[in-house]
Amino acid sequence: MTHAFSMKEIALQAGVSLATVDRVLHGRPGVRAATQRRVRQAQLELERQQRQVGLQGRRFLIDLVMETPTRFSRIVRDALDSAMRRMHPAVFRVREHVAETWAADELVDLLDALARRGSHGVLLKAPDVPVVADAAARLQAKGIPVVTLVTDIHPGSRSAYVGLDNRSAGQTAAYLMASWLGPAPTDILVSSSGQRFQGEGERIQAFAQAMSMHQPGHRVRVLDTGLGLHAPTVAVVAQLLARCPEVAAVYSVGGANAAILAAFDQAQRPCRAFIGHDLDEDNLALLRAGRLSSVLHHDLLHDLHMACQVVMQAHGAAPAALTSTRSNVEVITPFNLPGTVASVGHGP
């Protein structure tokens, strides 16, 4: 039902000119295949979002920009759909720019392109590196609010942070791990997708500090070269296990937990306790199977609802500007899965 949208709406959603949309819609030559796909994708996005929210009230077009594994981007997108529905009578639409890995210069080029095209707000999950912070600041200077999601960048470069209290999460993981392992010295693998992400760095630092206080005999071994992806994580964890026979527990701050367990299985090594993050499909399956001891969860729907509120505030459509809102940590075990009845008999 593409006729329901004006060419101006499609052009804004696709980030192209009105003339380009006109050529694509009328089948005229002179438009690259990639641009044609962008226009068609914009139509599909508009149609899908029209079904999800009524197109009435004030409209906001936001951009979701994330460097993250697909398993996490899926749950973020589902939560964002629900959050946008909650914003009625204001109407939110989203353009997605998501990749599992992104070169810093490509990410900066994208953010600068959004500054040129225009946007009501950018929701950003990206590494905390100076060039990205500078690009975010340029968006802010254009009147486009930047809201960091789950992991922060320099506070002066964005409007607000929404997401987990990462220090509290690391401390919670250490408290649980120390209780489960007891005082006998054990090596703990702390797996990260890369400490370029401020949130993961905060979790690791808080975990290591709290472990040294609760159980100083344990050794924390940080591994941050797997990128949160399956095959690289299996390889680097297998190498660590071969070098370090005392590793017998895991705190995974960056995901790829099935890959970590595969490396333990290949090495025929037990994992006495395993704490992960986020209720994605992989972690739900591992919890149900008793392979994870617990998952540290936070309310993504709340986070994204607050992100939409920040965007509205920046445009004078909601009162009281926010600068940061941090979600509390919820400990999920195989026995309190949301909306399910647990039937496994695993413990750390």
Q: What pLDDT was estimated at residue 48?
A: 67
In a domain, 122, yes or no: yes
Are 259 and 238 in a shared domain?
Answer: yes
Residues 270 and 257: their CA atoms lie apart, in Å, by 15
**pTM of this prediction?**
0.77
Residues 142 and 55: their CA atoms lie apart, in Å, by 26
Are 115 and 147 in a shared domain?
Answer: yes
Among 107-111, 230-234, 301-305, 336-340, where is mean pLDDT lowest? 336-340
Residue 58: pLDDT band by 50, 70, 90 thresholds? Answer: confident
Are 10 and 75 in a shared domain?
Answer: no
DSSP 101: S
Domain boundary among 31, 52, 73: 52
In a domain, 344, yes or no: no
In tens, the pLDDT along 82-111 reads: 999 988 788 899 999 999 889 999 999 999
Please name the residue that has the structure tokens 């486009």.
144
In a domain, 67, yes or no: yes
In tens, the pLDDT along 209-222 reads: 999 999 999 999 99
- Residue 264: CATH number of its domain: 3.40.50.2300
Are 22 and 77 in a shared domain?
Answer: no
User: What's the token pair of residue 30?
Assistant: 């002179």
In tens, the pLDDT along 160-199 reads: 999 999 999 999 999 999 999 999 999 999 998 876 889 9
Range of the domain at 17: 1-52
Are 140 and 47 in a shared domain?
Answer: no
Residue 302 has pLDDT above 50, yes or no: yes
Residue 252 has pLDDT above 50, yes or no: yes
In a domain, 242, yes or no: yes
Instruction: Indicate the number of domains in the chain.
Output: 3
Residue 348: pLDDT band by 50, 70, 90 thresholds? Answer: very low
Percent of the chain residues topping a pLDDT of 90: 62
Are 66 and 94 in a shared domain?
Answer: yes
Q: What pLDDT was estimated at residue 343?
A: 36
Are 37 and 82 in a shared domain?
Answer: no
In a domain, 63, yes or no: yes
Count of CA atoms in the C-beta half-sphere (13 A) of 132: 25
DSSP 268: T
